[in-house]
Amino acid sequence: MSTPPDPALRLLEVVPAFERAFSRWAKSLLESKKSSTPAQMRLLGALHCKGPQIMSSLGAELGVTARQVTNLVDALEAEGLVRRAAHPTDRRATVIEISAKGADVACQYWQPFHAQLAGLYRELPVKDQRELLRLLEKLLEKLKSKG
């Protein structure tokens, strides 16, 4: 009789596989609409829902580096979807604002995209959604405490 596989080792395989599959799927949802990348849509969604933000706040909210925020803003600015503005009191900070065109894109694509992404989790029973959320939040706290 063989011993059951170590679940921690199996999680090391499943979690990254899920992340890659989820990312590919999210990207495919936007490719059919010929719109921005999932990361760009998340940034537009953040601005659309919460208003103008400084770049460091966007990075913290999206969980990306300062360089990644700069790249996302550069791409969205080139499309006319966001604009940079001087911070009113901090000369070192740059405020990112959504443009009228960006707001239109966010309304047209962000909300349906967000709903489609959430729909994957809604395929699970609510009890399972809550358990998955509880476990992921617990792991996230453990990671944060590790520095």
Whole-number pLDDT of residue 33:
63
**pLDDT tens digits, one per residue of 32-61:** 665 678 888 889 999 999 999 998 899 988
Residue range 35-145 in CATH 1.10.10.10:
yes
Query: For residue range 97-127, what is the model confidence (pLDDT) as tens digits?
Result: 999 999 998 888 888 888 999 999 999 999 9
Q: 110 CB contacts (<8 Å, ≥6 apart)?
A: 41, 44, 45, 48
The pTM of the full predicted model, rounded to 2 decimals, is 0.74
Domain ranges, ordered by start, for the chain = 35-145
